[in-house]
Amino acid sequence: MSFAQALKALTTLKFWIETLCNRSVFWCLVAVLGFMLSMKYSNFKSEPERNCLAMLVFVVVLWTSEALPLFVTGMFVPLLVIVWRVIWDKTKKDERMNSSQAAVFVFGQMFTKHHHTTHTHTLKQTHTHTH
């Protein structure tokens, strides 16, 4: 199929009906629609709270419908947390982290928390075995 034929197929009603009847596409569109509606009609006053709710709606719809593989949906969470700036900076009062600060924080949490927990657990086991 040439590019011109593929482009022409995009303009047919049959193509769009077949595409929208695809379960994954349908639920992805529902997730995006839920995301947009929760951004617009949320009762939260602050932008980070609205963003967080919208992110939650988006991810919950994708997880429950399994429109995308679960690991792909799981990768949306850190990405959206960074892009939508929902993390507050504890060092500055009432200020959100910018995207670069949030990225460092999120990836730091992802890659050091488990190691810290394992290390602590190992120290407790070592301490218990020495007595």
Tens-place pLDDT, residues 44-88: 888 888 888 999 999 999 999 998 898 888 888 888 888 888 887
| Token pair recorded at residue 73 | 């949906």
Cα–chain-centroid distance for residue 57? Answer: 10
C-beta separation of 43 from 68 below 8 A: no
Tens-place pLDDT, residues 25-49: 899 999 999 999 998 898 888 888 8
